[in-house]
């Protein structure tokens, strides 16, 4: 019966793997992965983006980005402000403390990723990247279909 739904088993394994990844980030970097994604996204884009651009970059629900930004802003790691040219837009920039935190965390992230993947060959990693990319494409297509 276990092999009746290998697709379901794959989806469940991916969920478990993602939860393990989130726990490892939280434990080793001292911050939740969603917070890190926002901070590193801003850092890689020269420290400033509109919230709308951040949503597109991270491919996260706008409400989730807003919740993360409120939390991160309360820690003094980002600043939000109304765009001078278009007051409908809210811009977000890393504060000096946010930039400092990202730069201090980058070496720990590198070590964590190296430790997580040390037992995988380059061939294994390339195959994993291909499989996950294919699955992501299939998920995006499935999301656009009326499956009911």
Which position has the token pair 């009911």? 148
* 93 phi and psi angles, rounded to 5 deg: -135, 145
Whether 76 has a pLDDT exceeding 70, the answer reads: yes
10 Å Cβ neighbour count for 70? 11
Query: What are the pLDDT digits (tens) for 101-117?
Result: 999 999 999 999 999 99
Whether 139 has a pLDDT exceeding 80, the answer reads: yes
Query: In the beta sheet, which residues pair with residue 80?
Result: 92
**Distance separating alpha carbons of residues 25 and 22, to the nearest angstrom:** 5
**Distance separating alpha carbons of residues 89 and 52, to the nearest angstrom:** 8
pLDDT of residue 38: 96
Query: What are the pLDDT digits (tens) for 4-53?
Result: 688 889 889 999 999 999 999 999 999 999 999 999 999 999 989 999 99
Q: What is the 3-state secondary structure (H, E, C) of the chain?
A: CHHHCHHHHHHHHHHHHHHHHHHHHHHHHCCCHHHHHHHHHHHHCCCEEEHHHHHHHHCCCHHHHHHHHHHHHHCCCEEEEECCCCCCCEEEEECHHHHHHHHHHHHHHHHHHHHHHCCCCHHHHHHHHHHHHHHHHHHHHHHCCCCC
pTM of the model: 0.82
Whether 69 has a pLDDT exceeding 90, the answer reads: yes
Domains with residue ranges and CATH for the chain: 24-106 (1.10.10.10)
Tokens of 85: 């040219």
**Distance separating alpha carbons of residues 47 and 43, to the nearest angstrom:** 5
């Amino acid at each position: 019966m276990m092999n009746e739904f290998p697709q379901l088993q794959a989806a469940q394994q991916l969920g478990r793997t993602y939860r393990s990844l989130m726990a490892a980030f939280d434990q080793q970097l001292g911050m939740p992965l969603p917070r890190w994604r926002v901070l590193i996204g801003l850092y890689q884009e020269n420290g400033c983006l509109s919230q709308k651009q951040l949503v597109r970059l991270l491919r996260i629900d706008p409400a989730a980005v807003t919740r993360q930004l409120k939390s991160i802003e309360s820690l003094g790691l980002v600043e939000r402000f109304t765009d001078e040219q278009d007051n409908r837009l809210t811009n977000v920039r890393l504060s000096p403390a946010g930039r400092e935190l990202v730069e201090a965390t980058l070496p720990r992230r590198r070590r964590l990723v190296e430790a997580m993947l040390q037992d995988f060959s380059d061939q294994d990693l390339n195959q994993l990247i291909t499989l996950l990319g294919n699955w992501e494409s299939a998920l995006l297509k499935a999301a656009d279909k009326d499956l009911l």
